[in-house]
Structure 1
Amino acid sequence: MSTLSDPLSLSAPRGADAGLTPQQLVAKYGLTVSGRRPGLPQYVRQLWARRHFIVSFATARLVAQYSTAKLGQVWQVVTPLLNCVVYFLVFGLILGNKSIPNYVPWLCIGVFIFQFIQSAVQSGTRSISDNLGLIRALHFPRACLPIAFTIIQLQQLLISMVVLVGIVLATGIMPGLSWLLILPTLVLLCIFNTGVALVMARIGAKTSDMAQLMPFILRTWMYLSGVFYSIEANIETWPKWIQLIADVNPASVYMDLIRFAFDPSHFNREGLPPHVWMVAVAWAVIAGLFGFVYFWKAEEQYGRG
Structure 2
Amino acid sequence: MSQVLHTPPQARAEAHEDLAALAARHGLSVSGARPSLPEYIRQLWARRHFITAFATAKLTSQYSQAKLGQVWQVMTPLLNAAVYYFIFGVLLQTKKNVPDYIPFLVTGVFIWTFTQSSIMAGTKAISGNIGLVRALHFPRAALPLSFCLQQLQQLLFSMAALVMILLVVGVPPALSWLLAVPVLVLQFTFNAGVSMILARLGAKTPDIAQLMPFVLRTWMYISGVMWSIDVLLSEHGDLPTWVADVLRANPTAVYIDLMRFALIDSFRADNLPPHVWATAVGWALLAGVGGFIYFWKAEETYGRG
Change over 3 Å in CA distance of 1:25–1:275 after alignment to 2: same
Matched, 1:172 2:173: no
Unaligned stretches of 5+ in structure 1?
A: 1-17
Specify the code of the residue in structure 2 equivalent to 1:265. Answer: S
Matched, 1:253 2:250: no
Runs of 4+ more than 4 Å apart: none
1:264 is displaced (CA, Å) by 3.4
Specify the code of the residue in structure 2 equivalent to 1:173. Answer: V
Choose the corresponding residue for 1:203, options 201, 204, 223: 201
Q: Give the structure 2 partner of residue 294 of structure 1.
A: 294
Q: Confirm or deny: 8 A CA contact 1:188 1:280 kept in the other structure.
A: yes
Give the match's secondary structure for 1:142: coil
Q: In structure 2, what is the Cα distance between the partners aligned to 1:77 and 1:19? A: 61
Give the match's secondary structure for 1:211: helix
Q: Give the structure 2 partner of residue 239 of structure 1.
A: 240
1:20 is displaced (CA, Å) by 8.4
1:177 is displaced (CA, Å) by 1.7
Specify the code of the residue in structure 2 equivalent to 1:180. Answer: L
Change over 3 Å in CA distance of 1:83–1:29 after alignment to 2: same
1:99 is displaced (CA, Å) by 0.9
Q: Give the structure 2 partner of residue 3 of structure 1.
A: none
Matched, 1:154 2:152: yes
Q: Give the structure 1 partner of residue 52 of structure 2.
A: 55
Change over 3 Å in CA distance of 1:126–1:21 after alignment to 2: same
1:76-110 Cα shifts (integer Å, max 9, x gaps): 00000000110000111111121101100000000
Change over 3 Å in CA distance of 1:84–1:101 after alignment to 2: same
Specify the code of the residue in structure 2 equivalent to 1:291. Answer: G
1:19 is displaced (CA, Å) by 12
Q: In structure 2, what is the Cα distance between the partners aligned to 1:126 and 1:73? A: 23
Structure 1-normalised TM-score? 0.91
In the TM superposition, what are the counterparts of 1:117-132 in structure 2 within 5 Å? Answer: 117-132=115-130
Change over 3 Å in CA distance of 1:300–1:167 after alignment to 2: same
Q: Confirm or deny: 8 A CA contact 2:248 2:273 kept in the other structure.
A: no
1:237 is displaced (CA, Å) by 2.5
1:28 is displaced (CA, Å) by 1.8
Q: In structure 2, what is the Cα distance between the partners aligned to 1:93 and 1:272? A: 25
Matched, 1:31 2:32: no
Choose the corresponding residue for 2:88, options 78, 87, 91: 91
Q: Confirm or deny: 8 A CA contact 2:52 2:149 kept in the other structure.
A: yes
Q: Confirm or deny: 8 A CA contact 1:127 1:201 kept in the other structure.
A: yes
1:281 is displaced (CA, Å) by 0.5
1:266 is displaced (CA, Å) by 2.2
1:272 is displaced (CA, Å) by 3.4
Q: Give the structure 1 partner of residue 225 of structure 2.
A: 227
| Higher relative contact order (Cα pairs below 8 Å, separated by 6+ residues) | 2
Specify the code of the residue in structure 2 equivalent to 1:244. Answer: D
Q: In structure 2, what is the Cα distance between the partners aligned to 1:121 and 1:291? A: 12
Give the match's secondary structure for 2:154: helix
Specify the code of the residue in structure 2 equivalent to 1:89. Answer: F
Q: Confirm or deny: 8 A CA contact 1:122 1:214 kept in the other structure.
A: yes
Q: In structure 1, what is the Cα distance between the partners aligned to 2:142 and 2:199? A: 11
Q: Give the structure 2 partner of residue 9 of structure 1.
A: none
Q: Confirm or deny: 8 A CA contact 2:171 2:265 kept in the other structure.
A: no
Q: Confirm or deny: 8 A CA contact 1:124 1:146 kept in the other structure.
A: yes
Q: Confirm or deny: 8 A CA contact 1:100 1:266 kept in the other structure.
A: no
Q: Give the structure 1 partner of residue 215 of structure 2.
A: 217
Structure 2-normalised TM-score? 0.91
Specify the code of the residue in structure 1 equivalent to 2:199. Answer: A
Q: In structure 1, what is the Cα distance between the partners aligned to 2:281 and 2:16? A: 59
Specify the code of the residue in structure 1 equivalent to 2:213. Answer: P
1:99-122 Cα shifts (integer Å, max 9, x gaps): 101100000000000000000000
Q: In structure 2, what is the Cα distance between the partners aligned to 1:272 and 1:124? A: 29
Q: In structure 2, what is the Cα distance between the partners aligned to 1:49 and 1:126? A: 24
Give the match's secondary structure for 2:232: coil
Question: What root-mean-square deviation, in Å, do the aligned CA atoms of Structure 1 and Structure 2 show?
Answer: 1.5
Unaligned stretches of 5+ in structure 2?
A: 1-14
Q: Confirm or deny: 8 A CA contact 2:100 2:266 kept in the other structure.
A: no
Q: Give the structure 2 partner of residue 78 of structure 1.
A: 75
Q: In structure 2, what is the Cα distance between the partners aligned to 1:259 and 1:279? A: 16
Change over 3 Å in CA distance of 1:257–1:20 after alignment to 2: closer
Give the match's secondary structure for 1:233: helix
Q: In structure 1, what is the Cα distance between the partners aligned to 2:230 and 2:223? A: 11
Give the match's secondary structure for 1:265: coil
